[in-house]
């Protein structure tokens, strides 16, 4: 028996309407609605087709626990059951941060949602059986990190970044804040990019590590940067 909640959850995670799924299955929208609402049961002959249309397994639709590869090495399991790592979310509202274990397939879905500026929120299905909806306006930042990353940060991985919000540049700058001399000397970032980070992080004398009172960076006065941030905060 197919569980109606599993059907609805799978469809929403796939960001599809009932009409779109019905079209894939060659059904009327009203028939699919009756399946999803539990008004009628899904015929056994249609369960496999339904799972393929929704992009999930038959076991998922039946509410049966599925195995997942915690090491990410089992080639026989689909991406949705391979452990990628974690999604770390911080909130601009002051709410406690979230750390969610995610699959490789879920990482891809998160990146698609982050790239769509029109979405009001992001849905994450974690490997510990949580479905989390995060309002985009409430999210301060999100960082996706895989187990293969090790002890290093994003600055060590060239162009192969992990997918982050606000963006890759934000985290590049954050990773170098402990060495402000290098950050300024490289001229790798624009004034706007540096200021954008400082609207989230208040610079302080200890954090600056004895930075000279005035450092020029593409015409940017370091004292002016700190003063500008203080005014905004």
Domains of the chain (ranges; CATH) run 4-61 (1.10.260.40), 79-165 (no CATH), 176-232 (no CATH)
Residues 63-118: tens digit of each pLDDT? 886 666 666 667 777 777 778 888 889 888 888 889 898 888 888 889 888 888 78
Residues 197-232: tens digit of each pLDDT? 766 555 544 444 444 333 334 444 556 655 554 444
Q: How far apart are CA 91 and CA 139, in angstroms?
A: 5
| pTM for this entry | 0.45
Q: How far apart are CA 77 and CA 169, in angstroms?
A: 34
Q: How far apart are CA 184 and CA 173, in angstroms?
A: 10
User: CA distances (Å), 25 to each of 30, 52, 56, in order?
Assistant: 13, 10, 15
């Amino acid at each position: 028996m197919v569980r109606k909640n599993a059907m609805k959850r799978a469809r929403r995670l796939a960001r599809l309407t009932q009409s779109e799924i019905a079209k894939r299955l060659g059904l009327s929208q009203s028939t699919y609605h009756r399946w999803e609402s539990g008004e009628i049961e899904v015929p056994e002959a249609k369960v496999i087709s339904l799972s393929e249309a929704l992009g999930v397994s038959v076991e998922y639709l039946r509410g049966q626990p599925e195995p997942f590869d915690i090491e990410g090495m089992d080639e026989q399991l689909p991406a949705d059951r391979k452990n990628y790592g974690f999604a770390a979310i911080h909130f601009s509202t002051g709410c406690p941060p979230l750390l969610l274990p995610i699959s490789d397939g879920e990482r891809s879905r998160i990146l698609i949602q982050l790239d769509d500026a029109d979405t009001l929120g992001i849905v994450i299905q974690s490997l510990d059986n949580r479905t989390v909806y995060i309002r985009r306006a409430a999210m301060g930042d999100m960082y996706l990190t895989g187990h293969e990353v090790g002890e290093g940060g994003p600055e060590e991985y060239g162009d192969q970044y992990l997918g982050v919000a606000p963006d890759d540049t934000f985290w590049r700058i954050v990773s170098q804040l402990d060495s402000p001399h290098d950050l300024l000397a490289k001229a790798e970032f624009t004034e706007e990019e540096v200021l954008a980070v400082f609207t989230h992080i208040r610079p302080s004398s200890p954090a600056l590590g004895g930075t000279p009172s005035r450092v020029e960076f593409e015409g940017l006065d370091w004292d002016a940067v700190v003063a500008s941030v203080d005014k905004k905060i």
